[in-house]
Structure 1
Protein backbone atom coordinates (compact mmCIF):
# COMPACT_ATOMS: atom_id res chain seq x y z
CA UNK A 1 0.00 0.00 0.00
CA UNK A 2 1.39 3.37 -1.05
CA UNK A 3 1.76 6.02 1.63
CA UNK A 4 0.44 9.43 0.62
CA UNK A 5 1.88 12.55 2.18
CA UNK A 6 0.78 16.16 1.91
CA UNK A 7 3.22 18.84 0.79
CA UNK A 8 4.00 21.69 3.17
CA UNK A 9 2.99 24.13 0.42
CA UNK A 10 -0.53 22.66 0.58
CA UNK A 11 -1.09 23.50 4.27
CA UNK A 12 -4.71 24.56 4.67
CA UNK A 13 -6.35 25.68 7.95
CA UNK A 14 -9.68 24.23 6.79
CA UNK A 15 -8.20 20.74 6.46
CA UNK A 16 -8.52 18.85 9.73
CA UNK A 17 -5.84 16.23 9.13
CA UNK A 18 -2.57 16.21 7.20
CA UNK A 19 0.30 13.76 6.87
CA UNK A 20 3.77 15.11 6.21
CA UNK A 21 7.09 13.50 5.51
CA UNK A 22 9.71 16.16 6.13
CA UNK A 23 13.40 16.50 6.79
CA UNK A 24 15.02 18.84 9.29
CA UNK A 25 17.08 21.36 7.33
CA UNK A 26 18.11 23.48 10.30
CA UNK A 27 17.39 23.53 14.03
CA UNK A 28 18.53 26.05 16.61
CA UNK A 29 17.77 27.34 20.08
CA UNK A 30 16.81 30.96 20.73
CA UNK A 31 17.99 32.27 24.11
CA UNK A 32 15.65 34.26 26.33
CA UNK A 33 16.07 38.01 25.99
CA UNK A 34 16.02 38.28 29.80
CA UNK A 35 18.42 35.44 30.61
CA UNK A 36 20.79 34.12 27.93
CA UNK A 37 21.26 30.86 29.87
CA UNK A 38 17.56 29.98 29.36
CA UNK A 39 16.04 28.82 26.09
CA UNK A 40 13.08 30.91 24.90
CA UNK A 41 12.20 28.63 21.96
CA UNK A 42 13.46 26.06 19.51
CA UNK A 43 13.27 27.03 15.84
CA UNK A 44 13.17 24.44 13.04
CA UNK A 45 13.19 24.62 9.24
CA UNK A 46 11.48 21.57 7.69
CA UNK A 47 11.57 20.56 4.01
CA UNK A 48 9.42 18.08 2.08
CA UNK A 49 10.47 15.90 -0.88
CA UNK A 50 9.57 18.60 -3.44
CA UNK A 51 11.62 21.31 -1.73
CA UNK A 52 8.78 23.14 0.03
CA UNK A 53 9.91 24.56 3.35
CA UNK A 54 8.15 25.60 6.52
CA UNK A 55 9.41 27.30 9.68
CA UNK A 56 8.29 25.93 13.06
CA UNK A 57 8.63 27.42 16.52
CA UNK A 58 8.42 25.36 19.68
CA UNK A 59 7.91 27.76 22.61
CA UNK A 60 9.66 27.19 25.92
CA UNK A 61 6.50 26.00 27.71
CA UNK A 62 5.93 23.22 25.19
CA UNK A 63 9.63 22.38 24.96
CA UNK A 64 9.79 21.77 28.72
CA UNK A 65 7.16 19.05 28.36
CA UNK A 66 9.23 17.30 25.68
CA UNK A 67 12.41 15.36 26.29
CA UNK A 68 15.20 17.32 24.56
CA UNK A 69 18.70 15.98 24.24
CA UNK A 70 21.49 18.47 24.77
CA UNK A 71 25.11 17.64 24.14
Structure 2
Protein backbone atom coordinates (compact mmCIF):
# COMPACT_ATOMS: atom_id res chain seq x y z
CA UNK A 1 0.00 0.00 0.00
CA UNK A 2 2.84 2.38 0.87
CA UNK A 3 4.52 1.63 -2.45
CA UNK A 4 1.33 2.40 -4.38
CA UNK A 5 0.95 5.76 -2.63
CA UNK A 6 4.62 6.56 -3.24
CA UNK A 7 4.28 5.85 -6.95
CA UNK A 8 1.06 7.88 -7.22
CA UNK A 9 2.73 10.70 -5.28
CA UNK A 10 5.66 10.80 -7.71
CA UNK A 11 3.34 10.78 -10.73
CA UNK A 12 1.17 13.58 -9.32
CA UNK A 13 4.31 15.57 -8.42
CA UNK A 14 5.69 15.37 -11.96
CA UNK A 15 2.31 16.26 -13.49
CA UNK A 16 1.96 19.21 -11.10
CA UNK A 17 5.40 20.52 -12.05
CA UNK A 18 4.53 20.25 -15.74
CA UNK A 19 1.17 21.97 -15.25
CA UNK A 20 2.80 24.84 -13.33
CA UNK A 21 5.50 25.28 -15.95
CA UNK A 22 2.89 25.46 -18.72
CA UNK A 23 1.05 28.33 -17.02
CA UNK A 24 1.07 31.78 -18.61
CA UNK A 25 4.45 33.36 -17.91
CA UNK A 26 3.10 36.94 -17.95
CA UNK A 27 1.10 36.66 -14.72
CA UNK A 28 4.01 36.95 -12.32
CA UNK A 29 4.60 39.08 -9.28
CA UNK A 30 5.96 41.93 -11.39
CA UNK A 31 2.56 42.54 -12.97
CA UNK A 32 0.84 42.60 -9.61
CA UNK A 33 2.53 45.91 -8.80
CA UNK A 34 2.70 47.22 -12.37
CA UNK A 35 -1.01 47.98 -12.68
CA UNK A 36 -1.51 45.90 -15.81
CA UNK A 37 -5.20 45.36 -16.48
CA UNK A 38 -4.66 41.99 -18.18
CA UNK A 39 -4.60 40.24 -14.80
CA UNK A 40 -8.34 40.80 -14.59
CA UNK A 41 -9.12 39.04 -17.86
CA UNK A 42 -11.10 35.83 -17.67
CA UNK A 43 -9.45 32.52 -18.43
CA UNK A 44 -10.92 30.76 -21.44
CA UNK A 45 -10.38 27.52 -23.29
CA UNK A 46 -7.16 25.62 -22.71
CA UNK A 47 -5.87 28.21 -20.23
CA UNK A 48 -8.88 27.62 -17.96
CA UNK A 49 -8.54 23.84 -18.29
CA UNK A 50 -4.85 24.02 -17.38
CA UNK A 51 -5.61 26.27 -14.40
CA UNK A 52 -8.28 23.84 -13.16
CA UNK A 53 -5.97 20.86 -13.69
CA UNK A 54 -3.25 22.61 -11.68
CA UNK A 55 -5.62 23.16 -8.76
CA UNK A 56 -6.81 19.54 -8.86
CA UNK A 57 -3.24 18.22 -8.97
CA UNK A 58 -2.23 20.47 -6.07
CA UNK A 59 -5.15 19.20 -3.97
CA UNK A 60 -4.25 15.60 -4.85
CA UNK A 61 -0.62 16.25 -3.93
CA UNK A 62 -1.56 17.63 -0.52
CA UNK A 63 -4.09 14.84 0.07
CA UNK A 64 -1.63 12.08 -0.78
CA UNK A 65 1.01 13.74 1.41
CA UNK A 66 -1.40 13.76 4.37
CA UNK A 67 -2.37 10.12 3.75
CA UNK A 68 1.31 9.14 3.66
CA UNK A 69 1.82 10.80 7.04
CA UNK A 70 -1.26 9.25 8.64
CA UNK A 71 -0.79 5.69 7.39
CA UNK A 72 1.19 3.50 9.77
CA UNK A 73 4.50 2.29 8.44
Q: TM-score range by the shorter chain?
A: under 0.3
More strand by share: 1
With the length of structure 1 as denominator, give the TM-score of the two structures. 0.22
Between structure 1 and structure 2, the one with the greater Rg is: 2
